[in-house]
Amino acid sequence: MDTYATPTSADRLIVASASPRETKIWGRRLASLLEGGELLALIGDLGAGKTCFVKGLARGLSLREEQILSPTFSMIQEHRGRLPLYHIDLYRLEAVALDDLGLREYLFSEAVAAVEWFERLRDAENLARLSVRISYATANHRSIEFSASGERYARLIERLRLG
């Protein structure tokens, strides 16, 4: 199984984004490589662009990006596109465990799970995942760092790199 990562399998890709549009394009590009069952950990401050990235992801899964809301209102949103997408936002929780809220069902499924504020998940450091860390550069510039825990995600980054 690919649920837990081995420490030797990390890989990394850092790209720049000059606009929300470019961030969405990276989301779309990633979506085109997904097969279902992936765990995407979105990390970055409030306003970094995590939801913006998920909108691009949604487009790439043949969903309308307007359906992607900042899930302040509900913590888990399910969408049905080319693959099912679970959009999860842990912002309102100080700390959460894998066994809370039936999270395992969402994180380990046939769907794509995109989790904003993944770092609030307490016992997740060993989970195989693709981390997408977005940081501020200027008002419109962001740096997006993709990093893999687990072979499956290292291969995904390799394909992302090739374009």
Smallest CA-to-CA distance from 55 within 110, 116, 108 is with 116
Give me the residues that bind ligand ADP (CB under 6 A), please. 17, 19-20, 22-23, 44, 46-52, 70, 116, 140-142
Cβ-based neighbour number of residue 99 at 10 Å: 9
Smallest CA-to-CA distance from 118 within 105, 102, 129 is with 129
Residue 131 interacting with Mg ion (CB under 5 A) = no
Among 17, 23, 51, 149, binds Mg ion (CB under 5 A): 51
Residue 59 interacting with Mg ion (CB under 5 A) = no
Q: Measured from the CB atom, is 128 or 130 closer to ligand ADP?
A: 130
Strands 129-136 and 142-149: antiparallel
Residue 38: both structure tokens together: 């992936």
Q: Measured from the CB atom, is 51 or 149 closer to ligand ADP?
A: 51
Chain residues in the site for Mg ion (CB under 5 A): 50-51, 70, 116
